[in-house]
Chain A
């Protein structure tokens, strides 16, 4: 019996956590140490983060863009999730396919597609010009517009899944009761359905916001180096200026911020409701 217990612990349970301790937890502590020791020991990197106006600009821009992206993504996702759950069956199937395909396509290809559409001589500008709506190509990429469009496109599916999970749990009899009591469609939606689906909205909001903050591929491609946000800034510190300490310190600040948000999320909604 105790031999079985040893096998259960050592052969089954232990290997994965041990790998993660070696390949993830210890290096994370290493990053933490870097932020205090590189290039010189002390709080220099953190002082720089709290005093450098250039970094403040980047942090504010990141928060602003992520907030805009999150609000738009959750609204779009709400619309899509609503039809996924309550639309006629054939529409549900179309929506499922239309959501899953982009979800599974590489983030690089999705950014590339937007580059084709949004660049100065791209599809959108050519179409607008041939329709006579504009005389000059609009700047739709290498600026915040392009970054927001690309990030919203990436984030929408991540917002849809928690919303669908919550909407599926809403008891249809409640809606029928509201209807029976004489509430019109608009009132039914705003006073009954929307409040009932709020856990999904909150969950989707946090998931998208947290993910958007630490995500740098789409902004790097569609921002073209002009719309640098915190994650891309860390990437640049590491890959171009070899400024390890500052990159590490910024990561630690980001990690603390994200941890606080996760903690709030866990307080506000019960995650197991989303998983079921």
Chain B
């Protein structure tokens, strides 16, 4: 690699770019500890009052609960649908594969505003507007392409001969699926579920269109807070969410490192 190892000047710029990426996240942290009622940097008056407000607010806790329920449901539904679909394609290998996969990935390529409008139309036309099932279906549509990609990638690592062997030994399609294939792609399935959970937990564009008063997810509450009056409680919520995300990334990296050392794992 010595042909192109980067120089010192460009390394400085790269670190400045990192700083740019992390700056807005770092800025949130001190603000969440301000002792005042409005958005400000703490000047000696550090306080946990906004964390306390968060922990005792039925609205915020309710939204966290709503978001969590919806995200779990979305993760379960999209993982099951994506796994079935990907396995079906893998078993059958129909000539229609490019069309089917392309169609299933469509919501990933369509701009968020259009998906939001489409799902609004869907939710209102079958009376699921502003209901939990409506939000779950809308989130599944948004998240499922990512789950499909993840599982299809995991399936490319599986040796086709094990499926043939299982078939020759007389295994039914269910035995092949549950005893042979699912154990082989369990990491891919876990990644797909994780991805769907996060996508739903953070979804805002579509959620704004399919909910109004009844279902207020956490992102939706943050959105209203940012537009009306900016309460430092939002900073406390943000720090809470940043902490969860950073923990998840670190755990994922550790797991991947272990897999890598064990050999043969996917990255």
Contact = CB atoms under 8 A, between A and B. Distances in A.
Interface of A: 4-5, 7-9, 11-17, 19-20, 22-24, 26-28, 30-31, 34, 76, 79-80, 82-83, 86-88, 91, 94-95, 97-102, 104-117, 123, 126, 153, 156-157, 172, 174-176, 178-179, 185, 188-189, 193, 210-211, 213-217, 220-221, 231, 234-235, 238-239, 247-248, 251, 254-255, 258, 262
Contact of A31 (B81, B117, B204): B117
A121 B4 CA distance: 44
A106 B219 contact: yes
Contacts of B5: 86-88
B202 interface: yes
Contacts of A16: 81-82, 84-85, 104, 144, 148
Contacts of B264: none
B238 interface: yes
Contacts of A82: 6, 10, 14
A108 B223 contact: yes
A176 B10 contact: no
8 tightest CB-CB pairs across the interface, nearest first?
A: A214-B111, A113-B24, A12-B88, A175-B3, A13-B88, A231-B113, A27-B121, A27-B122
A17 B103 contact: yes
Contact of B21 (A7, A115, A153, A239): A153
Most A Cβ at <10 Å: residue of B24, B116, B144, B241: B24
A109 B11 contact: no
A79 B10 contact: yes
B241 A105 contact: yes
A234 B20 contact: no
B120 interface: yes
A99 B21 CA distance: 7
Contact of B209 (A88, A105, A211, A238): A238
Given A12-B87, A255-B111, 4 more contacts: A80-B17, A156-B21, A157-B21, A215-B113
B161 interface: no
A24 B122 contact: yes
Given A106-B219, A221-B226, A76 B20 contact: yes
Interface stretch (B51-59, B68-76, B185-193, B242-250): B242-250
Interface residues of B, number: 84
A135 B254 CA distance: 49
Nearest to A100: B249
Contacts of B141: 19-20, 23-24
Contact of A216 (B25, B26, B84, B113): B113
A153 B20 contact: yes
Contacts of A99: 21
Tell me the interface secondary structure of chain A in the complex. Answer: helix
10 contacts: A5-B92, A9-B92, A13-B89, A16-B82, A76-B20, A87-B6, A97-B253, A175-B3, A176-B3, A221-B226
Given A95-B18, A98-B21, A172-B3, A24 B227 contact: no
Most A Cβ at <10 Å: residue of B1, B23, B111, B140: B111
Nearest to B91: A8
A28 B31 CA distance: 43
A99 B4 CA distance: 22
B119 interface: yes
A148 to B, nearest CB: 13
B13 interface: yes
Contacts of A105: 25, 241-242, 245
B27 A117 contact: yes
B110 interface: yes
A111 B226 contact: yes
B41 interface: yes
Contacts of B121: 27, 30-31, 34
Most B Cβ at <10 Å: residue of A23, A86, A178: A23
Given A86-B6, A98-B21, A214-B111, A239 B208 contact: yes
A87 B14 contact: yes
Contacts of A91: 11, 14
Contacts of A19: 81, 137, 140-141
